[in-house]
């Protein structure tokens, strides 16, 4: 018999971080803890307030229910919490963790052995021009060859100037630039703005217009002068039929998968299957999880053998994150086995 419990944990940002959903100072997250015959399994249910489709008043109630029914088995539980993708993700991790030799070694590979790293993009947070420029210089200094910049926070012309200043110093061969629109453009101005961005040899733009406007997005993806990646568009889509319909209607150039928001490993794999069937590329992104969730996403991502830089966070944003073997080196996420896990709070 498995015994299950859950726990809430508040992560504190080192610096308040600007997103399209305002300034973040804390990030709430939850953990499912399983115990069986002296072994422990742990999974992070990375709820993202304001973005997750499962940000609902009965969230904790659902966690309670899951813990009470844990012995019904993973498959049954996943189908019962289909509209709680972050709980699906936490359950998948917790069951894998319980089964594994070491509770944080979910997908043993050359990555977890410390032999291979995962190329990642360096994330530049929203803020004023000076703050963003400082971050960009920092990322370049530490060996990133792919930078992702969130736009839509300051004046668009100022953002274009900032991107121009990077391009003056670094060609597209030296630095790949990704931008994240977070739905900031209106459908009738989007194409013109994409044309301006394309002159700067941008790798791709995430979610230029708000999700839920499928025909407008489809039209944009057809005419766009630079690749478009769907991100928020994938949130809250639960059935295989609906996933397939979105991919085939919109025909984006890329999709971006956040396991906490799209139903964990199985939800991500299903999106990947439909994307690849339609010759659409993809990458995986974390969503401000603690190092426990980030570790699970990184290990899973490595097994998929995708060569593009992934959008994996670095765990360094929080003052009270759990110590882990994860570290960033020369623009890659690596697993340093000389470092030990310290997650005693769980």
Say which CATH class 3-99 falls into.
Answer: alpha beta
Cβ 312 vs Cβ 284: under 8 Å: yes
Residue 20 confidence (pLDDT): 58
Least confident of 55-59, 67-71, 170-174, 306-310: 170-174
Choose the catalytic residue: 62, 150, 193, 243. 150
Query: Measured between alpha carbons, how far is 211 from 231 in angstroms, rounded to an integer?
Result: 8
Query: Rounded to two decimals, what is the model's pTM?
Result: 0.94
Q: Residue 137 — very low, low, confident or very high, per pLDDT cuts 50/70/90?
A: confident
pLDDT, residue 346, reads 61
Enter the DSSP assignment of 121: P
Q: How confident is the model at residue 174 (pLDDT cuts 50, 70, 90)?
A: confident
User: Which pLDDT band holds residue 294 (cuts at 50, 70, 90)?
Assistant: very high
Distance of alpha carbon 340 from its chain centroid, rounded? 24
- Backbone angle region of 299, left / alpha / beta, with phi > 0 → left and psi within -120 to 50 → alpha: alpha
Q: Is residue 344 very low, low, confident or very high in pLDDT (cuts 50, 70, 90)? A: low
Is residue 18 over pLDDT 70? no
Q: Would residue 269 show up in a list of annotated catalytic residues for this protein?
A: no
- Residue 67 has a pLDDT of 98
- % pLDDT > 70, the chain: 97
Contacts of 276 (CB under 8 A, 6+ apart): 282
Average pLDDT over residues 63-86: 97
At residue 123 the predicted structure's pLDDT band, cuts being 50, 70 and 90, is confident
Tell me how far apart the terminal alpha carbons of the chain are, to the nearest angstrom: 21
% of residues, the chain, pLDDT over 90: 78
The question of whether 103 is a catalytic residue gets the answer: no
Grade residue 27 by pLDDT with cuts at 50, 70 and 90. very high
Please state the domain extents for the chain. 3-99, 118-335
CATH topology of domain 118-335: TIM Barrel (3.20.20)
Q: What is the phi/psi pair of residue 135, to 5°?
A: -65, -40
Q: Among 238-252, 280-294, 329-343, which is the least confidently predicted range?
A: 329-343
Specify the DSSP element, H or E, that contains 159: helix 156-169
Considering 86-90, 162-166, 327-331, the range whose residues carry the highest mean pLDDT is: 86-90
């Amino acid at each position: 018999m498995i015994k299950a419990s859950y726990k809430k944990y508040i992560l504190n940002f080192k610096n308040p971080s600007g997103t399209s959903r305002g300034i973040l100072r804390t990030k709430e997250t939850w953990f499912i803890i399983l115990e069986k015959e002296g072994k422990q399994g742990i999974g992070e249910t990375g709820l993202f307030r304001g973005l997750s489709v499962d940000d609902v008043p009965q969230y904790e109630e659902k966690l309670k229910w899951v813990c009470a029914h844990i012995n019904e088995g993973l498959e049954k539980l996943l189908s019962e919490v289909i509209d709680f993708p972050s709980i699906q993700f936490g359950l998948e991790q917790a069951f894998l963790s319980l089964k594994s030799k070491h509770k944080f070694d979910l997908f043993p590979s050359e990555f977890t052995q410390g032999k291979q790293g995962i190329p990642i993009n360096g994330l530049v947070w929203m803020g004023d021009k000076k703050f963003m420029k400082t971050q960009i210089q920092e990322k370049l200094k530490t060996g990133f060859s792919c930078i992702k910049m969130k736009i839509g926070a300051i004046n668009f012309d100022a953002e274009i100037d900032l991107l121009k200043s990077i391009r003056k110093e670094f060609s597209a061969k030296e630095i790949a630039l990704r931008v994240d629109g977070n739905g900031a453009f209106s459908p009738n101005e989007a194409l013109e703005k994409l044309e301006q961005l394309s002159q700067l040899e941008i790798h791709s733009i995430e979610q230029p217009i708000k999700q839920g406007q499928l025909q407008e997005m489809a039209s944009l993806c057809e005419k766009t002068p630079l690749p478009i990646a769907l991100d928020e568009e994938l949130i809250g889509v639960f059935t295989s039929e609906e996933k397939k319909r979105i991919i085939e209607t919109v025909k984006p150039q890329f999709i971006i998968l956040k396991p906490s928001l799209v139903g964990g490993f199985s939800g991500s794999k299903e999106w990947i299957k439909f994307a690849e069937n339609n010759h659409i590329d993809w990458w995986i992104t974390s969503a401000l999880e603690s190092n426990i969730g980030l570790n699970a996403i990184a290990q899973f991502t490595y097994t998929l053998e995708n060569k593009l830089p992934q959008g994996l966070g670095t765990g360094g944003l929080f003052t009270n994150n759990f110590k882990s073997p994860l570290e960033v080196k020369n623009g890659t996420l690596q697993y340093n086995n000389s470092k030990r896990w310290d997650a005693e709070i769980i």
